[in-house]
Amino acid sequence: MRCICLFVLLLAACSAPVKPGSALFTQDSGFIRKNDVLNILKYNHLTDTTASGWTLYPDTDTFGKYYRQPDGNIMACLLDVGSETHLLTEITTDDSIVKAERYIHWNYPCCWRNFDGFVKHGDYYCLKICRTGSGYCSSNAYIFKNIQPQDSMSYIMQSYFDSFGGGGPDCPWVVTSKRLIKGDSILMQYQVNELAMSDTIEVIGGTTTFEVTFFKDKEKWRPTDSTFLKMYKLDW
């Protein structure tokens, strides 16, 4: 009987989630593998880790990224494959999650490439959230110092591809930008390429550049002038 009880205890220990170790966060910043992200999500009961989508990726794929804060805590962004969302989490030095917020894409993360959607600029973090539609994909930046609920903040649209552009299906627009953060202001330098069709090949038909400055108003970013944002559909 004692042997059976011991076997049951060992089986339970093997199947129980293991508390993520501080060994994951040895640097001031770094990436987190799928297996480690799964362990964090499972241990903290943040999602259904049995979803079939997880099995489509190798265990060594990058599914998270982190930065160390001045107080030693970790700010981490984790990909939840089951719902195609991203989780922002603050993790203490003893590996406890003190805050977690889920950020939802408008459809799926079409604008992410190799976990480039979570970066740090000075005191600010930037999380990229994507919007998709028919022949459309945009990148929208939430810029913040502390984790907040998604619906309490505003975002800045930073790029998009629109197959309909401003003149119908034969005039796609490609919008890109560069972001400069200084204090509590952001300078967005936009470039709009209007594409034209030449023998079914897209070529640049015209280019427009402009700048917009955003200032922080509590947790929202406000443009000083929205004229060009409205003109080029950057004010959603």
User: Residues 6-62: pLDDT tens digits?
Assistant: 333 334 434 445 455 557 899 999 999 999 999 888 888 898 888 778 899 999 999
SS3 151: helix
pLDDT (mean) for 97-125 = 93
What is the value of pTM for the model shown? 0.85
Query: Could you tell me the sign of the dihedral formed by the alpha carbons of 210, 183, 226, 149, in that order?
Result: positive
Write out the two tokens for 158.
Answer: 């930073």
Write out the two tokens for 30.
Answer: 């770094």
pLDDT (mean) for 201-210 = 74
pLDDT (mean) for 131-149 = 93
Write out the two tokens for 188.
Answer: 């967005």
pLDDT (mean) for 211-225 = 92
- CB-based contacts of 194: which residues, under 8 Å, 6+ apart? 165, 166, 167, 171, 172, 173, 204, 205, 206, 207, 208
SS3 9: helix
Alpha carbon 201 to chain centroid, angstroms: 32
pLDDT (mean) for 63-78 = 95
Percent of the chain with pLDDT over 70: 85
